[in-house]
């Protein structure tokens, strides 16, 4: 071999090595410089992932800590039939492959049983199939034919965790799942109008779910990390992590048992009188806390989609009625508060007309014939003419001012359920008869809650409070982060006047329109109401709103209770408040006395509290 040949070979090798290095260098330049952005995007797509951590929605509780609304996980079970095929194809031995297939088939039978589905349905789901997709998206199987493998065949929705655990234990090839959180209402229809619900998309629709959504919903978190080829997270490559903030718990003022008692009573009323609607409200007069509020008709929160919209209305705040005789507390309270009358002051309630400001006004009709009645008797026997004369003593403006002070014609700021303000026109828009008709609860419209809160003001020493539905907000660890106390709206009456009126209202059940509905020892104070309904612009003689609104014990009020029944069907008679509403009031009150440990009033405490104006 010549020396020149060896030298040439070395040069050739050196050039070859140089070319190799050069090509590697060029490739590196392409990878690192020219195609850098595109490749980085590809890597990002392939490896980086952002996982959203959903915040848990807070629960809604009653005042005693009972769950009214919570979230629970539900599982949608699906099948990837191609995963089973791929698993079987891995086994080349026909005998072993057949054995594997037989084992899986046996599991499918058990799966069908657990899911409550026919075996045919399950077997069909495990049969590989193709589905159509847009050709531009057909990049998975290398063939652009607008068809791709269907890897998600839904088998069953809303599966509970224990059943899913049993399915997982079967270790079935091709089973896949998706976990979602759904809102559940353990009480079913309990306090449906107050709690409200979340729709299928998870948006709050009504009630506390809607009104307190800001507190309840929490804030989602997220994790930025990388994933491997099997799409499992590589936790060591987590670069950023923002923890989810769970929603706060909302504690309502209602008591599940009180709510249940009044809902049970509503069912009885509905069965007996088939009303258009009925509302019962119970509250604590000293704080304005709503202990229970229920309407008929109602609905089941867990099946809200099947409930007609009419049943989802909270009639207590969305509908207005003429308050009728329950409104007489305005005239009586105002006249007493102004010092124009005493309980013993008498009026001639037999008069058919009366002179007022130079005009002769026809007084309203009475249900029975009265003569001279004291203010106490006017309240007890619900004299329309007596109430009209009390209002006339004050004059239009003063009477109107008191009606406003009692909360009529303005929203109570209850918050839930689309509250309306009612109707109370100023005196400038009254006709000549209004001063004689409004004191008996005509020419005015109010929501059941407004009527209830007006009576609550009498029970609470003359203070009108905002109805409270929320007691406190707790964080996810159970710490109270905000508590809600009573909110005073107005001082309607002096405490002494309120206590005096409360005592007059006890006459209603002792000797008046609701005689016989007293509960011995518990001093029921209340007012019946029977309003003719306005139908086609005329007062109907067959359609009425019956009500009984009151509280007990009169000298130490602990519960305010309203029963309002719209258009009750009473066979062969009129749906008077004493016939329809007062018995329900008494029945509920007897149960609440036991449940809330209301103590009877002894003569000593009665005198002492009467001196204090009834305020605790």
Nearest partner of 288 among 257, 254, 251, judged by Cα = 254
Is the Cβ of residue 168 or residue 171 nearer to other proteins in the bound state?
Answer: 168
Smallest distance, other proteins to C-beta of residue 593, A? 7
Smallest distance, other proteins to C-beta of residue 34, A? 31
Is 576 within 8 Å of 528 (Cβ atoms)? Answer: yes
Give the Cβ contact number of residue 81 at 10 Å: 20
Is the Cβ of residue 258 or residue 387 nearer to other proteins in the bound state?
Answer: 258
Length reported for the chain: 616
Smallest distance, other proteins to C-beta of residue 458, A? 20
Is 473 within 8 Å of 215 (Cβ atoms)? Answer: yes
Q: How many CA atoms lie within 13 A of 207 on its CB side?
A: 26
Is the Cβ of residue 66 or residue 532 nearer to other proteins in the bound state?
Answer: 66
Smallest distance, other proteins to C-beta of residue 192, A? 13
> What letter would DSSP give residue 431?
-
Cα separation, 438 vs 445, whole angstroms: 10
Is the Cβ of residue 192 or residue 363 nearer to other proteins in the bound state?
Answer: 192
Annotate 212-249 with b (16+ C-beta within 10 A) or e (fewer).
Answer: bbebbbbeebebebbeeeeeeeeeeeeeeeeebbbbbb
Smallest distance, other proteins to C-beta of residue 60, A? 11
Nearest partner of 596 among 385, 347, 282, 375, judged by Cα = 282
Is the Cβ of residue 184 or residue 307 nearer to other proteins in the bound state?
Answer: 184
Smallest distance, other proteins to C-beta of residue 235, A? 4
Smallest distance, other proteins to C-beta of residue 238, A? 7
Is 196 within 8 Å of 208 (Cβ atoms)? Answer: yes
Cα separation, 430 vs 424, whole angstroms: 10
Q: In degrees, to the nearest 5, what angle opens at C-alpha 495 toward C-alphas 492 and 497?
A: 80
Smallest distance, other proteins to C-beta of residue 308, A? 22
Is the Cβ of residue 66 or residue 147 nearer to other proteins in the bound state?
Answer: 66
Smallest distance, other proteins to C-beta of residue 534, A? 37
Nearest partner of 580 among 607, 552, 547, 612, judged by Cα = 547
Is 598 within 8 Å of 558 (Cβ atoms)? Answer: yes
What residue ranges bind other proteins (CB under 8 A)?
56, 66-67, 70-73, 160-161, 184, 186-188, 190, 233-236, 238, 256-257, 260, 519-521, 590-591, 593-595, 599-600, 602-604, 607-608, 610-611
Is the Cβ of residue 307 or residue 610 nearer to other proteins in the bound state?
Answer: 610
90 class by beta-carbon count within 10 Å (0-12 exposed, 13-18 middle, 19+ buried): exposed
Peptide bond into 553 cis (omega under 30): yes
**CA 446 to chain centroid:** 22
Is the Cβ of residue 56 or residue 276 nearer to other proteins in the bound state?
Answer: 56
Is the Cβ of residue 67 or residue 354 nearer to other proteins in the bound state?
Answer: 67
């Amino acid at each position: 071999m010549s020396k020149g040949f060896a030298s040439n070979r070395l040069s050739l090798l050196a050039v070859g090595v140089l070319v190799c290095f050069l090509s590697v260098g060029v490739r590196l330049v392409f990878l690192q410089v020219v195609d850098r952005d595109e490749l980085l995007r590809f890597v990002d797509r392939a490896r980086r992932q952002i996982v959203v951590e959903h915040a848990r929605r807070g629960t809604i509780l009653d005042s005693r800590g009972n769950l009214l609304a919570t979230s629970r996980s539900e599982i949608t079970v699906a099948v990837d039939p191609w995963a089973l095929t791929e698993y079987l194809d891995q086994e080349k031995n026909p005998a072993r492959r057949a054995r594997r297939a037989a084992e899986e088939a046996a599991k499918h039978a058990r799966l069908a049983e657990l899911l409550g589905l026919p075996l045919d349905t399950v077997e069909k789901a495990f049969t590989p199939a193709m589905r159509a997709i847009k050709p531009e998206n057909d990049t998975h199987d290398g063939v652009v034919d607008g068809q791709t493998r269907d890897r998600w065949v839904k088998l069953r929705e809303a599966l509970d965790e224990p059943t899913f655990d049993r399915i997982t234990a079967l270790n079935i090839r091709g089973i896949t799942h998706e976990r979602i959180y759904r809102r559940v209402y353990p009480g079913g229809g309990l306090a449906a109008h107050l709690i409200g619900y979340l729709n299928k998309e998870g948006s709050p629709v009504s009630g506390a779910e809607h009104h307190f959504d800001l507190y309840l919903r929490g804030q989602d978190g997220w994790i930025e990390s990388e994933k491997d080829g099997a799409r499992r997270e590589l936790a060591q490559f987590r670069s950023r992590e923002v923890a989810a903030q769970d929603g706060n718990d909302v504690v309502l003022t209602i008591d599940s048992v009180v709510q249940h008692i009044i809902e049970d009573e509503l069912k009885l009323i509905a069965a007996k009188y088939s009303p258009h609607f009925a509302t019962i409200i119970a509250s604590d007069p000293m704080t304005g806390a709503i202990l229970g509020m229920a309407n008929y008709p109602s609905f089941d929160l867990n099946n809200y989609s099947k409930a007609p919209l009419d049943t989802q209305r909270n009639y207590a705040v969305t509908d207005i009625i003429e308050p009728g005789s329950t409104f007489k507390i305005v005239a009586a309270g105002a006249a007493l508060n102004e010092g124009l009358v005493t309980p013993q002051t008498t009026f001639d309630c037999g008069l058919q007309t009366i002179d007022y400001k130079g005009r002769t006004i026809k007084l309203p009709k009475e249900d029975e014939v009265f003569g001279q009645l004291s203010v106490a008797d006017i309240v007890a026997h619900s004299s329309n003419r007596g109430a009209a004369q009390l209002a006339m003593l004050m004059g239009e403006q003063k009477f109107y001012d008191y009606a406003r002070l009692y909360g009529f014609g303005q929203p109570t700021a209850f918050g839930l359920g689309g509250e309306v303000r009612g109707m109370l026109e100023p005196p400038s828009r009254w006709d000549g008869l209004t001063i004689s008709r409004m004191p008996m609860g005509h020419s005015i419209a109010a929501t059941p809650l407004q009527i209830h809160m007006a009576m609550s003001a009498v029970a609470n020493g003359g203070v009108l409070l905002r109805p409270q539905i929320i007691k406190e907000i707790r964080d996810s660890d159970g710490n109270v982060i905000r508590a809600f106390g009573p909110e005073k709206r107005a001082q309607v009456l002096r405490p002494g006047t309120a206590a005096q009126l409360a005592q007059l209202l006890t006459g209603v059940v002792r000797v008046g329109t609701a005689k016989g509905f007293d509960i011995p020892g518990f001093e029921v104070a209340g007012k019946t109401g029977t309003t003719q309904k306005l139908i086609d612009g005329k007062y109907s003689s067959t359609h009425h709103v019956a009500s009984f609104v009151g509280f007990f014990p009169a000298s130490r009020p602990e519960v305010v209770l309203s029963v309002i029944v719209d258009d009750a069907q009473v066979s062969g008679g009129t749906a008077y408040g004493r016939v329809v509403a007062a018995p329900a009031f008494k029945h509920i009150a007897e149960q609440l006395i036991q449940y809330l440990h209301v103590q009877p009033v002894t003569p000593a405490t009665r005198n002492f509290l009467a001196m204090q104006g009834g305020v605790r």
